[in-house]
């Protein structure tokens, strides 16, 4: 039940509507039970409401922590990657003169692909081109090492390039293939269903009208679900990872 296919605003609207339906369904069942089973005590039901809402709050806090950690990991690996690319760009000076500009041009293209993927949300072109750039840069490094096997300078460029390639793999894993598992989303909505239906049921059982506070509760929980979704995806909505580090790096590289 991945939520990645839904726009951020649509997830919030659908979740809010779903939560209001949960509460309304519980309220209607509670109203019927209030007339059919007068012996049912409100006290135990109230305790159940508190318990299920507490469980939902705990589960939301846990999931928010997971999403927050993923968000931080994605931001940190982007910063590490920018630093490694910048180092490789500077160490391109250690290559033979004929190969220096070729390496710099490839690294500028590499950063451009990163920025375009972040700005457009279309990662496929960058995913296709990045391994090709890796191979072309590695061929330059290998040629330099073959010409000067004992060269410390050529070795430093090769080391930086190796870090760029490793961090690409890490960033793909964390940014594109790591997210909150579907099982957690399913469990979250299941617990929300139980908690909100029970809350509505208690209101119907105690013969109370639907207060405005019910809407407040539904909006609050829907907002938390939306926030967790945004932290989890980071490619849509207001909680995006800033690409300013990559933009600054590209500006420092100069030539188009």
Give the pLDDT confidence score for residue 35 in this predicted structure: 66
Q: What is the pLDDT of residue 243?
A: 86
Give tens-digit pLDDT for 184-199. Answer: 999 999 999 999 999 8
Handedness of CA 17, 18, 23, 25 (dihedral sign): positive
Average pLDDT for residues 94-120, to the nearest whole number? 90
Cα–Cα distance for residue pair 256/71, rounded to 1 Å: 31
pLDDT > 70: what percent of the chain?
89
Residue 122 token pair: 């279309």
Average pLDDT rounded to a whole number, residues 205-220: 78
CB neighbour list of residue 228: distance below 8 Å, 6 or more residues apart: 60, 63, 64, 67, 180
pTM of the entire structure?
0.79
Residue with tokens 């160490």: 91
- Please, which pLDDT band fits residue 106 given cuts at 50, 70 and 90? very high
% the chain with pLDDT above 90: 43
> How long is the chain?
256
- Contact call for residues 60 and 224 (beta carbons, < 8 A): yes
- Decide if 196 contacts 218 (C-beta within 8 A): yes
Per-residue HEC secondary structure of 237-250 comes to CCCCCCCHHHHHHH
């Amino acid at each position: 039940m991945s939520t990645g296919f839904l726009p951020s605003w649509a997830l919030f609207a659908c979740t809010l509507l779903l939560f209001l339906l949960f509460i309304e369904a519980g309220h209607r069942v509670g109203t019927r039970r209030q007339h059919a089973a007068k012996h049912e005590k409100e006290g135990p039901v109230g305790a159940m409401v508190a318990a299920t809402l507490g469980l939902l709050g705990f589960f939301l806090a846990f999931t928010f922590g997971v999403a927050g950690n993923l968000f931080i990991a994605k931001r940190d690996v982007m910063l590490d990657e920018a630093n490694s690319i910048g180092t490789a760009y500077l160490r391109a000076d250690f290559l033979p003169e004929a190969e220096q500009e070729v390496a710099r041009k490839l690294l500028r293209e590499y950063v451009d692909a990163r920025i375009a993927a972040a700005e457009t949300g279309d990662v496929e072109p960058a995913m296709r081109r990045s391994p090709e750039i890796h191979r072309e840069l590695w061929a330059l490094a290998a040629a330099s090492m073959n010409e000067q096997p004992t060269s410390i300078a050529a070795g430093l460029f090769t080391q930086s390039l190796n870090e760029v390639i490793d961090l690409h793999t890490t960033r793909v894993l964390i940014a594109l293939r790591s997210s909150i598992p579907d099982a957690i989303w399913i469990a979250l909505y299941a617990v929300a269903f139980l908690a909100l239906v029970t809350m509505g049921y208690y209101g119907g059982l105690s013969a109370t009208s639907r207060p405005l506070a019910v809407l407040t509760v539904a909006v609050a929980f829907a907002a938390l679900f939306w926030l967790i979704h945004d932290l989890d995806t980071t490619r849509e909505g207001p909680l995006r990872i800033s690409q300013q580090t990559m933009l600054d790096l590209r500006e420092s590289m100069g030539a188009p």
